[in-house]
A and B are shown apart, each in its own frame.
Chain A
């Protein structure tokens, strides 16, 4: 028998629930926000393809009831590029994590952004490698702990949104598992956007990140995001001392630029015409 809210019944493989994520993990909240965004946009479910890599975040494709592809570590964007070029009519959504997308998959991320291919990436940033036991990732904040950095990591962390903008992404936003309505709105805009879009969704990992860094349980992490997130529009108005220690959420980029599949199809069309003239 189907269980759960209408949204869950319509968009999830509810016979796979409950999911494997730890108690209080933000990934479930973000996955629901993705389903809500797709639902709000009224997309044909057969025209949605969700692709993921490897890691806690990438388990999401097992639960979402669309065309789904669970691929290899870091390579979700490479598979997604192939899908988009073969079937441009599909809405391709990539679900990836901070380790998956910025470490082993870093190159795929920057080049997908550079190409401005019409793919939406939702990056679940829990700031640690959860699945393999809490190793620090490129998104683990400077001087914070993981099992591979017991004295605090001395590797500065990536600002993933700035990285995506620098590489050429045309829609970039950040939200958290606490700020669900904003997160849903950003994902919705990202899916509707033509070109490469990235939404960084900050997720709480109470099991490793929270515990290793003595940041408390799931509720404490949610309070942290509530108290320390500052909207980018507000940030310009508030006093500098109030910005201290806070991180920015909101929309960082929203622009138009030539899209990769369009450009590719233009070449195909041009060569076709040139070929027919030769005959």
Chain B
């Protein structure tokens, strides 16, 4: 049986975000933006779970977590 991969959700910790814009610039599907200098996810559905935002966030303010 093929392994079913559960899709992960993008989670953010606005208090840790310093608005450097790295995740926004490198998100391949462009679903991240800064609003009042804090990170916001605009469209969870489009996320490909590539993990680039989590890997390159210097402040650990954005990450992927499996859905409950």
What residues make up the interface of A, taking CB atoms closer than 8 Å to B?
3-6, 8, 12, 17-19, 21-29, 32-33, 177-178, 180-181, 206, 217-219, 222-223
Asked whether B65 lies within 8 Å of A218 as measured between CB atoms, the reply is: no
Residue from B13, B22, B55 in contact with A218 in the complex, judged by beta carbons closer than 8 Å:
B22
Asked whether B20 lies within 8 Å of A18 as measured between CB atoms, the reply is: no
Q: Is the interface of B mostly helix, strand, loop or mixed?
A: mixed
Interface residue? B7 (CB, 8 A): no
Interface residues on B, range: 20 to 34
Asked whether A218 lies within 8 Å of B63 as measured between CB atoms, the reply is: no
Q: What chain B residues lie within 8 Å of A6 (beta carbons)?
A: 65
CA distance A222 to B57 in the complex (A): 12
CA distance A52 to B54 in the complex (A): 25
Q: What chain A residues lie within 8 Å of B13 (beta carbons)?
A: 3-4
Asked whether A24 lies within 8 Å of B21 as measured between CB atoms, the reply is: yes
Distance from A68 Cβ to chain B, minimum over Cβ atoms (Å): 18
Q: What chain B residues lie within 8 Å of A222 (beta carbons)?
A: 22, 25-26, 56
- Nearest first, the 4 closest Cβ-Cβ pairs linking A and B are A28-B58, A24-B20, A23-B18, A5-B63
Interface residue? B41 (CB, 8 A): no
Q: A3-B13, A5-B54 are in contact. Are A218 and B60 (CB under 8 A)?
A: no
Interface residue? B64 (CB, 8 A): yes
Q: Interface digits, B42-65 against A, CB 8 Å rule (1 contact, 0 not)? A: 000000000000111111110111
Interface residue? B15 (CB, 8 A): yes
